[in-house]
Amino acid sequence: MLHLNEYIFNKNKYTVAVISYNYLRYDKKIQFTLKVKITKLQRGLQSQFDTAAAVMRKFKETKKKHDDKKITQKTSNAEVQSEKKQVRKLNLRRISKKRRLTKRSLRTLRSRKRKSPQSKSHKIKRPLKSPNRTQNLLKRKLRKRKRINIAKRWSK
């Protein structure tokens, strides 16, 4: 809760207001006091209200800065972990959306392929299912390379 303390008092050329503010963040009670100088307004009830409003405005700005600082300094590792998990989930969702898009646009890509045989963009690039499969692919490529090299050697 926010308390605008009663002691808004006058000093020679300006009014000083002191605010104390308590709030909970990450299960920790934080209290900070703010002293604000406000140029002296006409005396009377109206000026008192104006002062309070000005103080509140100034306070909200300062509080926002204060909060932003607090957010950057995470207190517990568990919170950071949960945040990472959420980000991962979001990314996964994003990837699946992309895949759906590629499936949808397959037809147009195929028609494009007929025009230029170089484009292989119609293939959906996905991670291979098993590491064993990748090994087999690599071996096959190596064997092919060897065959080509031997053929080159004999042709000389």
15 or 1, higher pLDDT: 15
Average pLDDT, the chain: 61
Average pLDDT (110-119) is 53
Q: Residue ranges per domain, the chain? A: 2-72, 76-132
Q: What is the 3-state secondary structure (H, E, C) of 71-132?
A: HHCCCCHHHHHHHHHHHHHHHHHHHHHHHHHHHHCHHHHHHHHHHCCCCCCCCCCCCCCCHH
Does residue 155 have a pLDDT over 60? yes
What are 134-154's pLDDT values in tens digits? 778 888 899 998 888 888 888
Q: Which of 69-78, 82-91, 106-115, 119-128 has the highest mean pLDDT?
A: 82-91
